[in-house]
Amino acid sequence: MQPTAIEQGAAVAPGVHEDFGHLLGLYMRRIRASASGVATEIGLSREAVNNWRNGVSLPNPRSRDRLAACAQYLRLTEAETNRLFSAAGFATEFPLQAAAAGAQPFAGFMDRLFAQLAQARPYAITMLLSPAHWGQPPFRQELLLRARAQYGAEAVLHIQPPYSVSTAAADYFAALGRQCGLGEVGSDYEFEALLEKRLLAGGRLFCLVSRFEQGTAQLRETLAGILRSLSEMHSGRLHLLLCGSEALADLKYRSGDLSLLNIGQVAHWPDPTLEDLALMARQRWPGTAWPAEVIEALQALTGGHPALFEEALQWLVEQGVGVASVYSPLLRAHLVASARLWQTLLPLAQEPATREQLRGLVDAASLGRARPYLQDAVLRRLFWGNLLQVRGAGEGAHLHWRCDIAREAAVAVLQA
């Protein structure tokens, strides 16, 4: 059977600055991943993965989600994922998060986040929820730097659960044990026992769990149960920052008082301010002058959507930075066609029921009341896809399209 066009990908073209096949092979060897293992996890043929690795072809633009799944399976960091995407000729998956000295975007929010976690009683558990295109968590290295400064480097643990949904429980917790420096771990019980031993040794322990939602639901729930149990038994000693999005929110709300993480406090990654956006632009393109009026116009155009904002900046770098360029119909058309928007919208347009609901939403002035947990599945998908925004506060908080670009992309998907 011949591979499909998506599997075969695009022919390798000049202009790609780093060899994609070499980079993919390097990341695969690091975790001893086979081509068949990668293929099984991302839904392609082994031949297609081998073609990628051997430099025969590059991922097709329509298979961006497959490359994202590949990066997750290979346990790549945000920076490594961006490097792989760039080598494939794609826009980066996690925009505007390069490490830089000096002022940092979202510094005030991160200060408040750690202050609240340090003062939390009796259970120091914070669930940091962020929608698509921010990374899980956003600005992870900055969060870890702040944790080491506050708790001490030896007291900071960083867990990233394995991506594979075929990982056995013993292997899953063995990987977490290695990440925590606990030595050989053969089961969930041994992981819990060794982590408790660390707590009994004295002092506070901080644990950042990034990409909490990777793996199967059963393994996530087991990990959540272990962390909750240790938090309850060692009140104030174990400080947890769990990072994820929709599936993590489910563990807070879906089962009510019986939810595994009902004792955790929730923090939502905020929309960027003008100052945040300006800092992000200067860090990404330090040699380019970004007038305040350009940043402000881009904020209005993109609604602060991080991937759209970076795509707009890149377009301006190539076409000419200026306020007039921000209002160009060509830029608008470029953003409406963004793969980041279409990958969230297209599945909704393919099912008759959700398609009709989406058709009704594109014409609505308001999409309903904003709640801590959205019960409507379509609104929930759009929210975690970063296409909706909460405006107002308290009882006056309502959901709206993040920007007209997002609404126009929905119309374009429905017409397609």
Instruction: Dump pLDDT digits (tens) for 290-336.
Output: 999 999 999 999 999 999 999 999 999 998 877 888 999 999 999 99
Measured over the CA atoms of residue 376, residue 390, residue 69 and residue 301, the dihedral's sign is positive
Helix (H) or strand (E) holding 172: helix 169-179
For Cα atoms 326, 330, 331, give the angle at the middle one, nearest 5 degrees: 40
How many Cα atoms within 13 Å fall on the side-chain side of residue 108?
6
Q: In the structure, what pLDDT confidence band is assigned to residue 342 with cuts at 50, 70 and 90?
A: very high
> pTM for the full model?
0.78
So what's the pLDDT on residue 121? 82
| pLDDT tens, residue by residue, 21-36 | 989 998 998 888 899 9
Angle at 210 between CA 206 and CA 214, to 5 degrees: 135
Q: Is the pLDDT of residue 9 over 90?
A: no
pLDDT at 11: 43
- Residue 1: the pLDDT is 39
pLDDT of 16 over the 60 cut: no
Buried-exposed string 73-96: b where 16+ CB fall within 10 A, e elsewhere: bbbbebebbbbbbbbbbbbbbbbb
Task: Using the predicted structure, report yes or no on whether residue 45 has a pLDDT greater than 70.
Answer: yes
pLDDT digits (tens, 9 = 90+) for 157-197: 999 999 888 889 999 999 999 999 999 999 999 999 999 99
State the chain's mean pLDDT as an integer. Answer: 88
Judge contact between 126 and 117, C-beta under 8 A. yes
- Reported as a pLDDT band with limits 50, 70 and 90, residue 96 is low
Residue 62 scores a pLDDT above 90? no
E strands present in 210-334? 238-244, 265-268
